[in-house]
Amino acid sequence: MSKLQVPVGISNRHIHLTDEHVAALFGAGHQLTKTKELSQPGQFACEETLTLVGPKGKMEGVRVLGPSRKASQIELAATDTFKLGVKPPVRDSGDHAGTPGVELVGPKGSVKLDAGVIIAARHIHMAPEDAQKYQLKDGDRVKVLVGGPRGGVLSEVLIRVSPSYLLDMHVDTDEGNAFTLANGQILDVILD
């Protein structure tokens, strides 16, 4: 089997919104404004930002990502949670059961979420042909080797497989800083 190498992308705090919440926060009929394509096809950073309000404080200028989703979700790094006063679990995207909520404040209104705040699990996106080539399947967990002066091994890296995905690993800013990673840096996946 050939060696699997993956580029890494460092994901800053961000928000995914439903169409209903886009309208409540930015006004009826509002369409999200694309400013930058992201690594996964069809995903983009938006011009729109929101303020998050938690039990202990607020965080302004948090970027919205598009397109809209069927459930609103806020992805934070662990250090972000202290400022807001929330204690979200590390979760796979979309798994909101038992997670805390926050208030989202936009230019046209606010929305109180009862759940949806997570620290996103580190993960690798890949197409089915990549998964087949490396004998992996959606939901598998692997280890990833990071070289360099602050190198180490990232364990429990979730494999996410979809025909719409391109090969790319996502970690949050805390993990990126801890390992002194750079966007686009190539990492080795340890295939046992």
Q: Spell out the domain ranges in the chain.
A: 12-120, 122-190
67: tokens are 């397109």
The structure's pTM equals 0.93
pLDDT band at 191 (very low <50, low <70, confident <90, very high): confident
Three-class DSSP labels, the chain: CCCCEEEEEEECCEEECCHHHHHHHHCCCCCCCEEEECCCCCCEEEEEEEEEECCCCEEEEEEEEECCCCCCEEECCHHHHHHHCCCCCEECCCCCCCCCCCEEECCCCEEECCCCEEEECCEEEECHHHHHHCCCCCCCEEEEEECCCCCEEEEEEEEEECCCCCCEEEEEHHHHHHCCCCCCCEEEEECC
What pLDDT sits at residue 131? 97
Which pLDDT band holds residue 25 (cuts at 50, 70, 90)?
Answer: very high
Fold of 122-190: Barwin-like endoglucanases (2.40.40)
- The amino acid present at 43, given as its one-letter code, is Q
pLDDT tens across 35-78, in order?
Answer: 999 999 899 999 999 999 999 999 999 999 999 999 999 999 99
Rounded CA separation 178/27 (Å): 39
Stretch 106-121: mean pLDDT: 97
**pLDDT reading at 192 higher than 80:** no
Residue-wise pLDDT for 171-183, tens only, equals 999 999 999 999 9
d(CA 184, CA 7): 5
